A = this chain, B = another copy of it.
């Protein structure tokens, strides 16, 4: 039987998307610059058994399988390859368990990040990882990319919260990795290995995450700066002062203007660059930390800085930061960077980004999880301007080269996907790339899982982006 017929029988026609126009909307994530192929079929799984049936069918027919969550990724990691099955877990939305004594949650991969956070909050608990996409992105996608977010600077990233995973492997086996206990060293950390592997080592069907107790209310400190570099100096000063803010975000004038143009928030009149710091230390310690952060902002030359005493105002500033990306998308295709550099290199890297924008004659807007050196220069080109696209590509590559030169990494939290494959090959030594291929070969020997993502196949390997596909 052909693959599509087989899956129609196994899962029911309502799980399949066969309309090419609808399929097209499942063929890519939000990385506007990344190429996407045409899927053979899109399947929306409801259960673990659905997922397993799809993986096993793809194995039998040697058809590539591309897993996806909500498709909010920014590196093309969920983009279809020609003739593949796209497997969406967006409809696996059960919150299976919130356990206040063990402080853990068990969810299906399609649960939206904000939904998990709300469910935890109802029991006085908190799930920290908070990518800017939290209202839309799913925990499954967050696990696939090891998503970060605003409060990572103090609380770590998705991998730091994943206790256990249920996974369908590249050999079609259903396995449970990790544990429910607070500690455990029984064997290799295979759950941690799956986190951030961008669907290339297995399809995650259930996730057990650690939760924390709800935290103290945050204090917000805002600073306006006359230049990116001055804001970067403030970031370095916060690090040098030994402060650990619960957020330290940077938003530049291009972003502020785009948000103003869209939402009319009146942010861009006074500031070239805004730095938003938060602390959630309890009681007087929070007051002290906020005061110390304010002093760092002022020493670094803030044109204006203050502790926000108005919670609504503080929330509006953070809302503007979260809106920066969609606001910029309205101006033209955005080529998203995601480099991460050592804290001390933040001012230098911001200066180099400005120089790159000038040299390549492109508009680069900046938002940044500045406190951990994770910068998102966003390169915006007018739609349909091919010369601008070429200049943008040159800027993109220069930024990667600069980040690596400063001891940084090509991707802080978005993942490699398609956009950073070249960067990864620059960052990792050949022997480390060989280790990646060996692990991929070990856990997905048929090479069906998200082929061509993260790294390209070695010559002679079975991991190709163009498996001998069944015409179905």
Question: A373 in the interface, Cβ–Cβ < 8 Å?
Answer: yes
Partner of A182, one of B169, B177, B340, B443: B340
Give Cα A454 to B374, complex, Å: 37
The stretch of A9-17, A90-98, A222-230, A427-435 in contact with B is A427-435
Give Cα A145 to B185, complex, Å: 7
Cβ–Cβ contact B101 & A343, under 8 A: yes
Contacts of A431 in B (CB 8 A): 169, 173-175
Question: A181 in the interface, Cβ–Cβ < 8 Å?
Answer: yes
How far is the CB of A108 from the nearest CB of chain B, in Å?
A: 20
Partner of A190, one of B152, B169, B244, B439: B439
Cβ–Cβ contact A195 & B189, under 8 A: yes
How far is the CB of A173 from the nearest CB of chain B, in Å?
A: 4
Contacts of A185 in B (CB 8 A): 145-146, 196, 409, 411-416
Question: A179 in the interface, Cβ–Cβ < 8 Å?
Answer: yes
Question: Can you list, as one digit per residue, whether each of A147-177 has a CB less than 8 Å from chain B (1) or not (0)?
Answer: 0100011001101100000000100011111
Question: A455 in the interface, Cβ–Cβ < 8 Å?
Answer: yes
- Of residues 326 through 362 on chain A, the ones whose CB sits less than 8 Å from some CB of chain B are 340-344
The stretch of A39-47, A79-87, A282-290 in contact with B is A282-290
Contacts of A186 in B (CB 8 A): 409-411, 416, 420, 423-424, 427-428
Contacts of A454 in B (CB 8 A): 187-188
Give Cα A302 to B283, complex, Å: 30
Cβ–Cβ contact A159 & B189, under 8 A: yes
Contacts of A24 in B (CB 8 A): none
Cβ–Cβ contact A429 & B176, under 8 A: yes
How far is the CB of A304 from the nearest CB of chain B, in Å?
A: 26
CB nearest to A146 among chain B residues = B185
Question: A315 in the interface, Cβ–Cβ < 8 Å?
Answer: no
Give Cα A196 to B440, complex, Å: 20
How far is the CB of A138 from the nearest CB of chain B, in Å?
A: 17
Partner of A439, one of B212, B410, B443: B443
Give Cα A464 to B424, complex, Å: 35
Question: A233 in the interface, Cβ–Cβ < 8 Å?
Answer: no
Question: A236 in the interface, Cβ–Cβ < 8 Å?
Answer: yes
**Apart from A124-B242, A183-B369, A190-B436, 19 more pairs, CB < 8 Å:** A100-B242, A101-B344, A160-B160, A177-B432, A179-B409, A181-B340, A181-B374, A181-B407, A182-B343, A183-B340, A183-B373, A185-B409, A186-B424, A189-B196, A193-B193, A282-B282, A283-B285, A435-B443, A438-B443
